Structure formats: C-alpha cells, structure tokens
Structure 1
Amino acid sequence: MTHKQIHALAGETYKAFVAAFDENPGAPDFWLKNLIQHTKADTGRLTPIHELMIPTKDNRARMIATDLEKLCGPLADAMLRKYHLITDASSRLKLLQQISFAMKDASLINHAKARGDYSDSGQTDRFPTFEAPAPDAPKPVAQASKRGLTFDDVIDKQLKEKSVGRRAKPMPQKTEAKFRKAASEFATHRGNDFVATVTSLEGDSWKWSMYDAGKLSNTTIAQRIQNVRTIIEWARKQSLGELFPHGNPFDLVERPERDGVRSEDKTYTLEEARKILRAARKQTKPELRWLPWICAYTGARIEEVAPLKPNDFFTYEGDHYFSITTKGGRRLKNIHSERRAPIHPDLISEGLLEFVSKHRSNPDQRLFPKRAGQNVARWVREEVKITRAEVSPNHSWRHLFEDKARAAGMIDSAREQITGRATVSSSGGYGKSDVMLPGLMREMRKVTPYLHE
C-alpha cells in the first residue's frame, strides 16, 4: 500500500468514529480510557505481560506490533474488507500505526463532545481520499466466500459439532436459545445477520443502545455481548481462521461491570483467613492441612490444586514451583488456567515440600482425595465456623490473594499468570516457559505473610 492509501484508510476510521458518536458521545471516561489505550499501544505498554520482558530493541518492536494488532487489527480488517484488499505485513503495521494515531484524535474530539463541548466538530480535510487500486488487484477469495454466513449458520454448525462422535455432549436447549436470542438482537440493531462484516464499532454501538433503552441490567448486557463474541469465535474456528484472522472484533467491546455481591464482601477478611490457617495447622487430613494454605498463597481455584500429584512439583534455579496442568485427564476452566505457580516461602516454612516428598515413591498418585474441595468447604463452615453467607469457603481465597498481591505491589501481569486469570490483556502463550519463572518468583516474594508467629 502507498503512503497516501494508508493515511486515507486511517482517515476513514477517524471520520466513522467521529460521525457515529456525534449525537450521543457517551461517557467522557470511555474516550479518556480509549485515548490511554492507544497511547500505551503506540509504545508497547498495552499488554501488562510485557512488563516481565527484557526491553531490548527487538522486544520493544514486537511489543508495539502485538499491541497495535490487538487494539487496531479489527479496524484495519474492516477497512481492508471494504475495498477488497490484501496487503503485506509491512504495510499492515504502518496502517495499524496510523489508525491508532487517528483514533487518538477521534477520542479527543468525542471526549470533548461527551463533556458538552461541541466547538470542534471533528471535520477535517487533512486526510486524503482513498483511491482504489487497479481493477486487477487480488481479491480475498476465502473471506468473500464466507460473506453470506449468518449467525444461525454458525450456531447450527456448532450444535452439530457438539452432538457428533462417541460420548458427545450436545448443547443444552437453554444454552442454544440464549445464543440465538443475543444474535437476533444484535442483528436487528445492525440491520443484517451476516457474521463476516461485524465490526467492533457495531458492537459498541449495540452496547450503548442497550444502555440507553434502560431495560437491561449491566449483568444482562455483559452476557449479551459475551454471547455474540462467543458466536463470532465459533465462526473463526469453523472457518479455520479465514474469518477475522487477526482477532475477534468483540474483543474490543468493553463489557459493563456486573451488579451483584461486591468483591469485598466475597473476600475473606484477614481475621477469617488467619483463623482458617491456624486451624489447618492442627489437621491431619491432607486436604484440610494443605489446601487452604496453597489457595491462600496462590489464589488458585481449589479444583485446580486438589488433583496435584508429586510429579507436579519441580525446582528451577534453586526455587520451587508446581504445575497446574491438564495432563493425566485433568480438566481446567480455560486455556489461561494451565500454568506454573511459584511456591511462596511461607508454604515451604510450613512444610509443604516435606509433605510432597513423603509421596515421591508414588509420583503419579493424587496427594489429596477426590472429594477434597467438598471436604474443605464443609470443614470451614461447620468446624472453623466461617458462616458469612457472601463467602465461598474455597473461592474467597482467590479474591483475598489478589488483594494481597496488589497491596504488595505485584505487577498485574504476574498476578494474572499466578492466578490463571483470563482477561482481555492476558496471553495464553506467555508465562509458560522456564525463562518467565524467576520473574514470577520475584513477584511472589512480595506477598506478605498471613501469620507472623
């Protein structure tokens, strides 16, 4: 692509965002956050995991390219599809950079409008008009062949995928109904039900229309958006990556915060945590003795650590870790859940490694019984007497560990890796190799002890 074509496409993105939100620009904070995100992407600081990487020149270039692709890739795809273009990697990166610059300008204009300042309309002639390439330019045949694919087509194929083969697990009718309902509402809002042409802008516009209607709770709006995102993800997989090869456009649609029990109410107090840990010291059953302590110092879900085996524990450069894995038929919540967790010094002081060593003769046998989670929950409620209704006996450790990690100054990317938290900024490919382990251990050591005796 030529320099002029790149700037012209960036200009079309700018004009689309300024025009679409002229009447209802939304909240000022939304555009301020958008501006901050693009500023971070321009310097490779959008993805928190990058904080753990050595800032060499090559790494910095890769960070910037990764962040720009994540933030602006769907916008670039929309522009390229509009003119039936396929471009090389170098031109694409330049286009992503110019779209990011343009989006910062659009965010400033819309932020001012959201605060009631319409003195700058956003109209500008600084962007050139796009001039299409010669008629014999290559067309994206694979993408065009999918253009007639509807949401119902995608759902129908997913139903078939779920129902075929031995020991199949068909999709429940209620689940199917919720996906069709969300897809139908989104299709009505945008005016068609073709999957291939979905854009992030349409998703965000739909979200704000649900806000404006005032009929749905934040929880329901968030679920509707997630359901459509899931259908688009199915379409990507069904097309083997031909649709939206650079990412799901709904990844950029920020879901509203959900209502319900406040996080602080679901979290153990330090007094409750200390009461459980002291009580655990007196237990002889392995699950009661060790699972509360492991959850307290990792924020792991109890169903992730209850199946631990001796051969999941290992040493690297003098420090101790354990693997949370799907090996041996074990199941985890999602791709982010498979990880390596550093063992906090307090767990070592308590004698966890000695406990594991006693079972080394049976390296592939579980350390804890199959009903370990239920046993611990019942013990916490009935014997330790932690009866507060908002608390989940096992999951509340997850909330408390994250709070302790934040208070200790643990960087977000390390906290997400240690807890297996799936976020928009998380990357399933990071934090799995040995090179990341010392950084994670360094961050784990920041977490202060629960007990001082």
Structure 2
Amino acid sequence: MRLMDWRGSGMRGSLPSMSRTLGQPTQWGLHYGQLVDAHSKFGRSLGGPDEDPADEAESPAARRHIRQVVTELGQVASFLGEQGLRLTDEATATFLDLVERELGPALTTLGRRAEGDYSPDVRVERHPEFRKAAPEKRAGLSPWSLFEAWVKERKPGDATVNRWRAVMRGLDAFFEGRDIAAITAEDALAWKDTLVTPERSAGVVNDVWLRAARVNFGWALDNKRIASNPFEGVSVAVGKAAPKVREREFEEAEWSIILKATTGPQPGRIAAHNAAARRWVPWLCAYTGSRPGEVTQLRAEDIQHHKAGFWVMKISPEAGAVKGGQARTVPIHPHVIEQGFVEFVQSVGKGPLFYDPNGQRVKRDDPTNPVQAPWVKQRNKLAEWVRDLGVTDTNISPNHAWRHTFKRRAVRAGIEKRIRFAFCGHTSSDVGDEYETPTVEDMAKEMMKLPLFVATQGDSGAL
C-alpha cells in the first residue's frame, strides 16, 4: 500500500483485506529510519512517532534534502500524477512541508497495522474527512471551435465572419485553446488589457473585439455550454473623441474630380467590367444614396423600365447582399439615363454589370473563412481608384461619402424624410412610418427636386 493512498483513505476499509497489502513491519521501520536519518544529518530532531517535526532553523540545503526524501518515501510524484494535479514550485514546496509533518506518524501507524494492531489512529481523526472535488464542468469547446459552432448555427454575413475571424483566432491563441468554461471574468479582463494598441483604438476594441467575444460566449450561455458569460459588461475606457474637422459628405471639388474621371480616359488594359464600374457606379451612388456594394452587385436584369415611364434599379439580396436583408426598388435619375446607362445595360444583356462572374478562382468550403464576394472586391477597387484620383482626405470614405452627399443634397432640396429613407434603405424607429412607406412613383417625383451634379472646374454645364 502506498502512503499517500493510505492517508487519503483514512484506513477505514476491510482490515483483514488491507493487512494483505501492508507488507512486513520491518519495511515501515526501515522507511521511518530513513526519515530520521534525513533530519539528523542536518542536526534536526524528527520528534516522537506521533509528534510533529521540531520547528528549527535550517539551511536551504537541509530543506531541499528533506523534501527529496519526503518525495521518495511518500511517492508524492506518482500520487500527484495519478490525481491529475500540477503544482507550481512554490505550491510543491508547501505541499511537501505538510506531508513531512504526517510522514513519521503515518509510517509508525502502518508498522502497527502490519503487525496486526488495528487500534484507532487518533491522529487521523484530527484531520477533516477527504472529499474529492467534483470534476469541473467543461463545455468541450475552445474559443475557436466556439466560433465555428456559432457560424454554423447563426450563419452570419461574410463581412461579420471576416471581421470577427481575427478576434476569435486571437482569443484562442491568448488562452492557448483552453476550454471556454474555464475562462473566468478575470481572464476576460486580462485579455481586454492587451487589445488597445497604437494601431487599434479603444473604439475598435469595444465595437469589434469585445463585441465578437461577448456575442459568441453569449451564444454558448444560451445553449447551456457555460454557466456565465465572462465578457458580459467588459469594455475599455474610450478617451475624448477626436475633434470633428469636416462633414462626411464630399465637398464639391471632390465629387467633381470623381465624376469627371468617370468619363475620362481609362488605362488601355483595364478589364471591361472594371471600366464599367468606374463609369457608372459613382453616378448611381450620387443620385440614389445607395451603398456602393449594393450598386456593384447589380445585374442587367435588375435595371427595369417602370410602366410610369422612368427607369428603376432593384436592389435585392438575390443579387448579393443587402444590409438588413430588405430588397428595395429605387428610381434612376434621368441625368444618368441621358448619359447612356440603359444602352450599356442592354449591351450586357444578362448577369452582373460590374464584375466578371467567371473571374473568381478561389474556392473554399470553410464557413469561418469565406471568399470575398466579387462585388465587394469591385467596391474596394473603386475606393482605391478614388484615392488615386486625389480624393485623399482620410476624414471621409471614398465610397460611403456618396450616401452622406445624397442625404444632405436631398434635405437641402426639400425632399421629405420618408423619401430620403426609402432611397437609402434606412429604417425609422417610428412604427407609424411603416404606414407611410412611399411608392416608387413618389420617389421618382421627389427625385426631380435634386440639383444636377454640375462641373465647376472649367466647365459650365452638367457633367
């Protein structure tokens, strides 16, 4: 019988059966003698069989030697390994000092048991009864596998997956793949403290990094995989906002540069769909306030002639992606039609207007790493092109600024709010507004109030 097992059991089992495992009395006497020798080597007294070792000053060398003997006699290393316990150096030293106090009395008692003496061991009675802690509940998910499970069930948009992918990879690396049920609120705070960097603002940390962790762990909580969400309520302090130096709409000089470039010469080797995107997407955004990605995904069949005599474009999730998943129909301004937009659409015939549907080569089946949609790539190319034209102010977006430009020009032209919202696909918090949703005919009528985009750099007419 091993000493550490005996102390854990309290020797309260079947005594005759245990006697067969206790060995010879001389075995325990020999071990006791080894313990006495370890103490006496350094001039220390072990004390009586039922006494604690004398509390005497000793050198570090003496302590190391005695702890080594205690480890061997008590078979401490194998005991900790079988229990699945890993102790720090400091905790190991404390544990061995405690075992040392019980080792002498335990060896003496085991010797008596081997001789057939099963009288009560009063020393054992002074210790609390050993109760093995219940195993800690595990979720069976690491931060990354949690993200995989969340994506599989919730099926979020590609933009969200791509934005949160780096977050959950970082979380998984920080916790070294630890089970999510073992991540505490204190652990969440420790991770949070590493996130703000010169390249990553507190606002981004709150809006992207901590939100991704909170949503994913919230899903685990809702699905009974964890008892609490350690990221709930965790945030970083956001400093004073940077001063606003300008409005987010294009200034006249900026939109003039872009719209003039749409009719200017293009590089000879540019692909036809890229040239078409430069030619028409800025104009459609300027007169409709649509998101650039909604325009770059348009198909020829989405451009239709309305029975009332005007042209419309249908923005639909069927063509790609629409924020909120709500399709809408938007009239196209006559100024765009006059420039030959319908003729361009008819030349395409069918299919995407601004990207090559056969040009995408990368294929992946990993839902946590979706391939960037071709209309998103085209939107990003347009942003780079606008920057190359000289619209370089980082306080505005080279694409999204068209929405701000449209909304401000529309309000100055006296177009009512519900019409502006309908053009841009914005929703109102007022439930009553749902009863006043404008028709496309209403939108087409109000659209005529918009001022034309007129050149100001050496030109005198509408672009």
TM-score grouping bracket, smaller chain normalisation: 0.3 to 0.5
Higher fraction of helix: 1
Q: TM-score, normalising length from structure 1?
A: 0.43
Structure with larger Rg: 2
Structure 2 length as normaliser, TM-score?
A: 0.42
